[in-house]
Structure formats: structure tokens, C-alpha cells
A and B are shown apart, each in its own frame.
Chain A
Amino acid sequence: MPDGGKLLDATNVSKKFGEFRAVAGADLAVNAGDIIGLIGPNGAGKSTFFNCLAGETVPSGGRIVFDGKDLTRASPEAHARAGIGRTFQVPTTFADMSVIHNVMVGAFLRHPHRNDARDKARAVLELTGLRPDQPARSLGTPGRKRLEIARALATEPRLLLLDESLAGLTPSELQEAIALVRQIHQSGVTIVIVEHIMEVIMTLTRHVLVFNQGHVIASGTPDSVVREPAVIEAYLGRSHRRPPPDPSPANGGG
């Protein structure tokens, strides 16, 4: 796995909606080759922070530097061009288009010509295991999440932001999805993943940030953060005290 220098450096990022501080001074440093988890209870500010990283939300304060470039106020398009790919919490596939055409939209970013884009899309679909000619609207939730990952991968990102891409899956689908994320990571893509399901975080990530009320309240290895009292109190307590860890999908957004 390639371990490199600092790829993403978000410092003191904050976002206010009126008087409400959704994110209050969050820091995140990601080295090339990392796979980092963001967890926290619903409404903790993970998604807002995540949207700041993807350029969809302009932070009220702080600085986001990716690969030496300041992207704090840059558009989502600029983020994609710079090499940040993302998925959405609620899958937003291009329903009227076929699977391969969905992926080609992403592939066109680095391959302006149709044949090159199609080749790229086919390669990505082979990795993610979707039938190219299927209409996107006929896919179920697992398929749509997979398609979103494929579409983002086709932009050839160096950093992939996964927003609850593994939520709502059955246990066997979840195992397949975890294997897919691991494969993507091994191919050299750095990953930041927001997830509710502790099993995913525990098996995939080496470093976890715990959000609560707009702050990062803990960070470290998955094993160490779950032992921190603040974390147990804020979020993990309930699910973690349950005798056998429950691998079933957690509900709700965050």
C-alpha cells in the first residue's frame, strides 16, 4: 500500500447555518494511502463536514488544502478535477441512463473522447461488478450504491469520499461491499468513509475520527476510540454495550 505525504489537510473547518454551528472547528489530516473513518451520532456534523471536503458546502471558516492546492472555496467540479471523488448518502444515479453511460459521465473527466471513456468505464465496471447495459433505474439500493462508487472511480480520484455507501445492505451484500472498498484502497486510492455501521469501521479503517456536536471528540485507532468514555457516552455506548456486536445495518442519516 503506498504511504505518501499529506494529501488532504483540513484545519479548523467550521460551518454555520444561521446561529447553528453544524461544524465547529474540525481538523482532518489525510496521508496518501490512508483509509480513515468518520463516525458520530446523527446530527453530529459529519455530513456537513464531508460536504465541505467535497466542495458542495463552502465552509464559514478554516482551510482545506488538497495536494498543495487550496480548495476551501472551490466548486464541486474543481474538487473532482483536483482528484476528489465522492458518493452520496442517498444514491443519486442518472436514472434515465444505462449503467455504463452513468460511469462514462465520470470517465469523460479524464478521457474526453467517447471510446476512451467507454474503455475506462468498462474497466471500472469489471472491478465493481455491474452489468454495463442495465438501465440505472432498474437497480436496487445495493446496485445504486455500487454504481455511485463506480462512477466516482471513473474520475480517477486520488481521494475517495464515501458517504454511508455501505448503509442499508444485507449482511452478505455488506461483506461484498467491504471487499470492494478494500480492493479500491489497495489499488492506491486514499479513502475517507462516513459510516454508521461499526463493523465496517472496525474492519476497514486504521484511523477513526469521532464527531459529536460539530467537534471531533476523539481520534485514533478504531480499538482505542471505542474505549474512550466521551465516545461511549456520545455514540457508541448504546450499540457497543449490546453483548454481540450487531452487524445489521443501522438506520437513519447523519
Chain B
Amino acid sequence: MTKILSPRLVIVVLAAALLVYPLVLSGAFYRDIGVTFLLAAISASAWNIVGGYAGQVSVGHSMFFGLGAYTPLLFYTQWGWPPMAAIPVAIALAIGLSIVIGMPTFRLTGHYFSMATIAVAELIRIFTGTWDFVGAAIGLQGPAIARGWWDLTFRSELPYYYLFLVVLAFLLAVTSFIERRRFGFYLRAIKSSERAARSLGVPVRRTKMQALALSAAFTSVAGSLYVIKTGFIDPDSGFGILISVQMVIIAALGGAGTLFGPLVGALILIPLQSATNTWFGGGGSGLTYILYGGIIVLIARFEPGGLFDLWNRVAPGLRGALRKRRHA
């Protein structure tokens, strides 16, 4: 990162802004954007571990998100578990699924890997829509009225906001830890050249599997958080392709394979999405696709490295200009 502003200062300012945001902008609309933003940032940061750092662009991460969303509500409707108690089960299932999915799909690289992940996620979505045990096309409902605090059913957005913020902070801490360890180096090496990585003794298959499992676990947590807040899930809101695409776009917009890239991407995309939805009302739901499509084109054409990359190129010049002005 460039030192136009010290990175540590940027993090402190950002953290402070996120902490006070729902207190300063306390309207329901702003708080809703805040919660949606955090959830999107968590999902995209989770995707970033395997999609960004390791460069294995999954476009089927909704399979883990949906698993994380369905499991708590299934355990609630079937056995009356508090939704949050099923989060560890969902994590375990997501890791299991990641292994089953990773074994065959990691034999593929590049676009083939991406297409395989789309196909699997779509299969799961369609299958879920026909399976009565998980509510088929209608989906599942959570506790309407909290039986106790442990059901985490609040009327205010505020508790959700801070819960999500804690999870995001934890995920970023884990990512930052990985980034500086051997595992993180191996991920970036694999992204750059699997062949060269292998020649240096990097266990490529195993490392990719570990990255996918970790990414799946956190994506599943994002799904669980989503469902604990909304109290409802159906095949489209759990396993829909837009869920996966949103993760990819947010990470790519901010900078895939960078610690704060997904956060920056969510900071831009979510308010933009909320604004277009508000301006055009319910009739504008197809607009999301147009927005995503437009962003994909712009990133691919002008900034394949995302905004972080742009910043890293522009910042030294800015710093020079600032210094010049100070001396003038």
C-alpha cells in the first residue's frame, strides 16, 4: 500500500467510521444499507480467499452461502434449534461440500473451473426447489417472534449491524494473518503460475483445497447471518446466481486478492444498488443485472486490477503533487 496516508491511519479512520455510522445516520434506510453493505463485504471477503488470492474464480459460491442460510432454518423448523446454534453445523457442511466440489473441479483451470462452479450451484438451486424437506420452491421461515435473546430476532437493525461488523473484522484479521504466512504466499504463487509453484514444492492441489474450504466456511457464515436477520430463505435468495456474481463483482471492483479490496467494492456497489432500487422502485429489479453487467465491462476494459490497483498507480503522483503544493 502507498503511504500517501499511513495505512494504519486509514484503517483506524475506516473502523471508526463503520463503528459510528449507524448512530450518526440512524434512519431505517441508512441502517438497512449499512447492514446490507456489511453482509456483502463479508461474502466478498470470504470469496476473496480462494477467488482473489488463489485466483480460482468461483462463480458458484452461492452454494456455500445457501447452505449457510438453509441449515439454521432447517434445524429451527425441524427440531426447534435456535438458528444461531446451527451455524457450526452449516460450517461443517460447507467444508464438506467444498471438498466434494473441489476434488473434481480443481482438475480444471481458468474459465472451465468458473463454469463448473456455476453448474454445480445451479444444480443445487434447482434441486432445492423441488425438495419438500427444505421447503421446495417456497423456502423456509425462521422464528417470527423471538423465544429468547438466543433466537437473535431483533426489531432494530442495530444489533445485526454490530454483529456483522464483528464478523467482518474477524474475517479481515484472519485474511491479513494468512496474507503474511506461507499459506498466503503459496496462494499468490498459485494464482500467478501453478507450474512454477509446483517446481518450488508448493502442494498446489492441497493448498487450493484448503483455500476453498476456508472460503466456503466464511461464505456459509455470511449465509447464516443473512438468514438470522431476514428470517426467510428460498432457493433464489440462497443459491441464486446473483449471489455468486455479486461476490465476484464486489471483489473485482475493489481489487481481488487484496485485503481491503472487497470492502472498498462493497462500499461502492451496495449504496449504488440501493440507490438504483430506490429510484426505480420495485419495477427496477432487472436493473441489478444491468448494473452488474456495466461494472463487469468497465472493470474488464479499464481496470482489471480493481480500484485498489488504480489507487496504487495514481497515489504516488498525487503524493508528488501534494508535496509540490506544500513547497510552493
Contact = CB atoms under 8 A, between A and B. Distances in A.
Given A77-B204, A92-B193, A96-B191, A101 B199 contact: no
B192 A76 contact: no
A30 interface: no
B200 A56 contact: no
Interface stretch (A80-88, A206-214, A218-226): A80-88
A235 interface: no
B286 to A, nearest CB: 36
A185 to B, nearest CB: 20
A117 B182 CA distance: 9
Most buried by A among B182, B193, B196, B202: B196
B192 A151 contact: no
Interface string A93-114: 1111100010011101100111
Contacts of A79: 199
A190 interface: no
Nearest to A86: B199
Interface residues of B, number: 21
B195 A77 contact: no
A225 to B, nearest CB: 29
Most buried by A among B182, B186, B203: B182
A94 B192 contact: yes
Contacts of B197: 94, 105
B185 interface: yes
B185 A76 contact: no
B195 A92 contact: yes
B148 interface: no
A117 B203 CA distance: 17
A88 B185 contact: no
Interface in B185-226: 185-186, 188-189, 191-193, 195-204
B198 A75 contact: yes
Contact of B185 (A56, A77, A93, A101): A101
Contacts of B199: 54, 56, 76, 79-80, 85-86, 88, 152
Contact of B200 (A95, A96, A114, A151): A151
A155 B201 contact: yes
B200 A80 contact: yes
A114 to B, nearest CB: 6
Nearest to B185: A105
B181 interface: yes
A86 B198 CA distance: 10
Nearest to B198: A76
B185 A109 contact: no
B87 to A, nearest CB: 31
Contact of B195 (A56, A81, A113, A117): A56
Nearest to A91: B196
Nearest to A75: B198
Contacts of B189: 94, 97, 105
Nearest to B188: A97
A192 to B, nearest CB: 14
B301 interface: no
A108 B195 CA distance: 17
A88 B198 contact: no
B204 A105 contact: no
Contacts of B3: none
B13 to A, nearest CB: 27
Nearest to B195: A92
A55 to B, nearest CB: 8
Contacts of A94: 188-189, 192-193, 196-197
Contact of A105 (B180, B186, B203): B186
A77 B193 CA distance: 14
Given A88-B196, A101-B185, A77 B191 contact: no
Interface of A: 54, 56, 75-77, 79-81, 85-86, 88, 92-97, 101, 104-106, 108-109, 112-114, 117, 148, 151-152, 154-155
23 contacts: A54-B199, A76-B198, A77-B198, A77-B203, A80-B201, A81-B201, A88-B199, A93-B192, A94-B193, A96-B188, A97-B185, A97-B192, A104-B185, A105-B189, A105-B202, A108-B182, A109-B201, A112-B182, A114-B180, A151-B200, A152-B199, A154-B200, A155-B200
Given A86-B199, A101-B185, 6 more contacts: A76-B195, A85-B200, A93-B193, A95-B192, A109-B201, A114-B182
